[in-house]
Amino acid sequence: MWLPLESNPDMLNGFARKAGLQEPWEFVDVFGLDDELLCMVPQPCVAVTLLFPTAKIRPHREPQRKQIEAEGQLLSDKLFFVKQHDDLGNACGTIAAVHALANSGASIAGPLQDFIASQKGCTPSEVGYKLAEENTMKQASEDSAQGGQTETPEREAALGYHFVCFVPVDGHIYEMDGRKAFPINHGQTTEETFLLDAARVVKEQFMAHDPENVNFNLMALVKC
């Protein structure tokens, strides 16, 4: 079981640097989804992570999964997708960071680059099991989690929150959620409109189902 990462840039950047993210790329806070606040996010923005409360949102999204399974969807073959098995415990923040780094085009090297290269031809499920066994990546995540601003939760704690990631790949915006069986295509996007498009998806697909809840947190992977 892996420890959970806090949803703040220090935590994600701590893990990302240890995993191999190169400067000047880094995670920054997204302080709100109004246009004027989104304009404060540095560009280019190549990935967005979202931490959301799950209780009311997950049931509303179940019909979407069933529709995709019945009708299919367009998926780029460039996507690197990791299945979050139970062996990984509360590692959804780490998985979201991996999805962001691996699919965004940000400069990476070191352990994560080596891990991605070693998984060519593997299924998302196989990649998930391999990640659970990857000691260097686990240690990078554990070290970052234990340096948080709040008391580190228990490994098996039921937290009631979940991390996902949004990335633009081949002109489409994809939701990467390791607890799902596949990425979700949310339609077309461009480099210039990606952040606005991700904000729209978050508002329509997540916040709209729990509108009184303020416990949403977003970060962006940007080039500063």
Catalytic machinery residues: 92, 162
> Distance between CA 110 and CA 146 in Å, rounded?
22
> Distance between CA 125 and CA 178 in Å, rounded?
10
Closest to 100 (Cα-Cα) out of 5, 35, 215: 5
Cis peptide before 211 (omega within 30 of 0): no
Element (H, E) at 45: strand 45-53
Q: In what order do the strands lie in the sheet with 184-188?
A: 25-30, 217-223, 45-53, 161-169, 172-176, 184-188
Is residue 222 within 8 A of residue 45, CB to CB? The reply is yes
Helix, strand, coil in percent for the chain, rounding step 5: 40, 20, 40
